[in-house]
Amino acid sequence: MNGTPRLLNRILLGILGLKLLAIGVLLILLASVPAVGRWWQDWAAGVWSIWRDLFERTRFPGRSESWLWLVVVLALLLVIGVMVAWGAQQGRGRANLLVSEEDPGEVPGNVRIGSAVAEQALRAALADRHDLAGVSVATYEFRGEPALKIRIEPRQGVAPHRLAAEVSALVEALDVAIGRRTPVLIHIGAGARSRFGRAERVR
């Protein structure tokens, strides 16, 4: 519902996981297999000699510094810029207004209802329920219009269809209160709190 690039995130996490797995396997082999340790020492010495020769050939005329350090700094700045842009893509699509319409009444003007009104109202209506382990409400842009995303975590033994019907009734009451029908996504999931939390009983 939001603009988070989930596919890209999964690809990046998969690549990171494979790299960490390869590093872990290499460390285990270096600590347990002597032949791998000798190969690593020879390989590292060869790579270091290549880099040393490269820095020797790229020195500024008459100076001991190499211009390759400038390339390294620019590459790091580019990586930082890409990471900032990637971070800015996470969680896009949040909306601050639930209703924004013109009122052509006796005194023309704009009617605006913030998304926090609906979010707080629904959270307050569901906060005291003992059959729920967690509730979160957020407003997102969906096809150019604000829409509500309600995520609830029922405790064990709670019927999902009954819970969805009761939340739908709350949403319909909210639509009547604000005078506009709002698209809603009701997500019923099971988190750690609902799996391991002890249900409360009222006598």
Split the chain (203 residues) into runs of 10 and give each run's mean pLDDT.
69 91 93 90 89 82 81 92 79 71 70 81 83 83 80 84 87 83 82 48 35
Give pLDDT, residue 7.
80
pLDDT of residue 166: 87
Residues 99, 182: Cα–Cα separation, whole Å: 9
Residue 28 has a pLDDT of 93
- pLDDT at residue 52, as a whole number: 84
Residue 62, Ramachandran bin (φ over 0: left; ψ between -120 and 50: alpha; else beta): left
Q: What is the pLDDT of residue 86?
A: 78
Q: How high is the pLDDT of residue 22?
A: 94
Domain extents for the chain? 6-88, 97-196
CATH class belonging to 97-196: alpha beta
Phi/psi of residue 55, each to 5°?
Answer: -70, -30
Q: Are 91 and 4 in contact (CB under 8 A)?
A: yes
**Long-range contacts of the stretch 109-115 (C-beta < 8 A, 24+):** 113/178, 115/139, 115/146
pLDDT of residue 146: 82
The pairing of beta strand 109-114 with beta strand 145-154: unpaired
